[in-house]
Amino acid sequence: MPPPNPLHKMSICSKRRKRSERSQSKPPSEIERARFNHAASTVLPCILNNIFATALIDVQTLSNALCSNTTRLSHVSVCVQTSCTWPDQVNASRAESKFCAGFPIESRSNHLIVLAAVLSVVIFPIVGLKLWMRWTTSHRLWADDYTALVAAICLAAIAGCDIAAASMGLGKHYWNINPEHYTPLYQSNSLRMFYASQIIYVAVQVFAKTSILLLYLRVFTHCWFTIACNLCIVFLVLHGIAFTLAVSFQCKPVKSLWNPRVTGKCINLTATGVAGAIISIVEDLVILILPIPEIINLQMNKSKKWGLVLLFGIGSFACLTSGIRLKYFMNFGKSLDPTWAYINVVKWSIIEEFTAVLCTALPSMCAVFRHTFGLLTDGLQSLTGSFTTRRDHSQPSGDKASSCQSLTIHPKHRYPSLVDLALEIG
């Protein structure tokens, strides 16, 4: 059979649309009936072209032939999207939803919701613990703490947007999206959230990496290293501004991004995203390699040096996730089933962002472990000393003084400095 003629389908959509417009003067029940019939007529040519080998006995046979076959549903969806205007697509979606009611719907939305929720439960307490530890030990927050806090706040916004998008249909096939989500307000809000998350994504990257570089500046103070870190921070800021502007004004007019009724001219967002991902990987590698010369020159044994390399090289995890995300991003913008096809891009974007924020907190978590271990050790010592005192009332005064000292937390456990922590790894 020859391929379907899109112009013929467009004419069918146009004729049925005019008939629907004339039906606006009818009573509400008749308007609804006319809209459904119009939508069915709109999508019918696309359906027939994809089930030509099936014997059409009745409606049930037709629905079984179409609704149980993902490939045929995909072909129908592509046909409708490329042949009909937006209002006709919405009406066709409503008709198809009723036509395929009762058939199972393939969905990966819950995967995204669970992923975002689990990472939030794990990462945000770690960041909060880092900030609390810094405040209790030094009674102040440094520049790297503030930038890590901003990155965490932006990350929470992205997680919220992604969870909301999953509840709206992200992770389902495009033709399985609830037709009620195609209302102007609902559609506009969901697309605006996706638009906002693209901008916030850049902010998380910039603030998280800047936090790590500011941490480097507090640990290593050699002139060349300070200059290199400052240059990297300047590059990150310029990179963030450039890509924020590119994403913010990717279409002209901007509202065409969330309003399908407005025709706009857009840049190649796939090329922009791939370029941004490659630059991000290069930044991760630079942050990973930058402190190695300083660590090599430290006067310590090899085991401690390798411990420091591991401590300051945790950015390699972010580099790995960026590479995996880039693999999926290469096909971004090429599918007419975006809510299903791009779920891996969204999932790995979330993993990448959470990993970047985690990297800002892990170096300081050593302080938390040492502080907690010190408290436990001193507590056990004080408990042992008290037990010994109760057993032996004739204990010398010197031993009593020793027991009393065991009740006091050593300053090293109470206020550990980052440099001391770094130099005592091993």
Q: What CATH number was assigned to the domain covering residues 109-362?
A: 1.20.1070
Q: Where residue 114 falls among pLDDT bands split at 50, 70, 90?
A: very high
Structure tokens at 108: 């990966």
* 332-355: pLDDT as tens digits: 766 777 778 888 888 888 998 998
Question: Can you spell out the DSSP letters for 230-266?
Answer: HHHHHHHHHHHHHHHHHHHTSEESGGGGT-TTS--EE
- Using the 8-state DSSP alphabet, how is residue 331 labeled? T
pLDDT at 235: 96
Burial 299-311 (b: 16+ CB within 10 A, else e): eeeeebbebbeeb
Main-chain phi, psi angles of 371, to 5 degrees: -65, -45
Domain extents for the chain?
6-99, 109-362, 371-423
Average pLDDT on 310-329 reads: 75
pLDDT at 268: 84
* 352-397: pLDDT as tens digits: 899 889 888 877 666 565 555 454 444 444 444 443 444 444 444 4
Contacts of 53 (CB under 8 A, 6+ apart): none
Q: Does the pLDDT at position 213 exceed 70?
A: yes
